[in-house]
Amino acid sequence: MVKYVLKRIGLAIIVLIGVSLIIYFLINSLPVDFVTIKYGQQLTNGDITQEEFDRLKELFGVDDRSFFGILERYGKWMLGVLQGDLGISFKYDRPVGDVIVENMGVSFGIAFAAYILEIIIAIPLGVKAATKQYGVLDYASNVLTMIGTALPTFFFAAICIQVFSVGLGILPVQGLHGTLPIGASGWSIFWDMVWHLIMPVGIMVFLSVGSLMRYTRTNTLEVLNADYIRTARAKGLSERKVIYKHAFRNTLVPLVTLLAGTLPTLFSGAMITEQMFAIPGIGNIAYTALKEGDIPFVMGYNMFLAILTVLGMLLADLMYAVVDPRVKITK
């Protein structure tokens, strides 16, 4: 087991270096940069000279956009990363690591709540739809799944805002908190935040529950047609025991891969949802930084997600041995 984990960590390091190199070159190859976005209009209006503009580009390290120039800056950035320094954000003028840590809490809370609700709804519904194939529940869940999968996030969010906020006036539109009385207690603040997050979390659950439900349904149908399930039924076991003791455990094996892949989404934030509802999460922060060409923050953010992805895949491999005793991790 230890040898296997060390081997996977070694491969993960190679993958992360390759990913970081690709992302760094892509970001530096964008048609505009942070200095152009922020000071370009001032150059056009004559508020700053071309020499001052070029000096700013050199100061922010975006002056040389040649292959070797970008490669040299990447080497400096990687050296800083190895020393635990992700750089200073252009946009927020603070260490990238501090900005990520301070803003990912809100996104994690929202994503974690949506993730738990997604599992609670999708997996039981997928198993039930498989056991009642071509029944009313199966068709109804398939229709809802297709609707949720097909709807773009911004479009569905706009509909929900129009119906529940503008039309009915029962849910708040933006932010994490409303107007609270002076001296409000901690619980009042907490429940006010929960009230503001009902719609964003509900949208995230509705749009993501369909794929997990369909995946669960498909795998459950495949398991239910296996020989050992027919044998279990032939022995006289109750249908409930056949499904939830024998079939469901084997259904979990492919689900582990899918669920482990959601680890990065717990911390990455939902860019569109956070933008629509003005939620100060890491997704909103990253979207703003990306629009303004904030290279250090975009690099730190993407590498943070890459590391989470690698950890998720490693966790999935280890979980195989937990949900399926036949799997032995020895290499």
- Tens of pLDDT along 56-85? 888 888 888 788 888 888 888 888 888 888
Q: What rounded mean pLDDT belongs to the chain?
A: 81
What dihedral angle (degrees, nearest 10) is formed by the CA atoms of 277, 282, 287, 288?
A: 90
Task: Lowest mean pLDDT of 6-15, 83-92, 151-160, 241-250, name the range.
Answer: 241-250
The rounded Cα 257 to chain-centroid distance in angstroms is: 15
CA gap 145, 215 in Å, rounded: 11
Tokens linked to 283:
């997704």
CA distance 18 to 50: 36
What residues are paired with 95 via a beta bridge? 88
Q: List the structure tokens of 39.
A: 């000071």
CB 204 within 8 A of CB 108: no
pTM value is 0.76
DSSP letter for 88, please: B
Distance between CA atoms of 88 and 60, rounded to whole angstroms?
10
Question: How does pLDDT run across 266-295, given as a tens digit for each residue?
Answer: 776 677 888 888 888 888 888 888 888 888
pLDDT bin (cut points 50, 70, 90) of residue 224 is confident
Q: Residue 323 in contact with residue 254, Cβ under 8 Å? A: no
Q: Which residues, 6+ apart, have CB-to-CB distance to 109 below 8 Å?
A: none
CATH class of 104-323: mainly alpha
> Could you please report the per-residue DSSP string of 256-314?
HHHHHTTHHHHHH--HHHHHHTT--SHHHHHHHHHHTT-HHHHHHHHHHHHHHHHHHHH
For 82-141, the pLDDT digits (tens) are 888 888 888 888 888 888 888 888 888 888 888 888 888 888 888 888 888 888 888 888
Q: How many CB atoms lie within 10 A of CB 50?
A: 8
Which residues are within 8 A (CB) of 125 and not within 5 positions of it... i.e. 6 or more apart?
137, 141, 209, 213, 216
Amino acid at 125: L
Give dist(CA 246, CA 121) in Å, integer.
21
How many angstroms separate the CA atoms of 39 and 146, rounded? 46
> Which pLDDT score, from 0 to 100, does residue 182 have?
66
Compute, in degrees rounded to 10, the torsion defined by CA atoms 200, 266, 25, 272: 0
Domain range summary for the chain, segments of one domain joined by +: 2-82, 104-323
**Arithmetic mean of pLDDT, 214-225:** 82
pLDDT at 197: 85
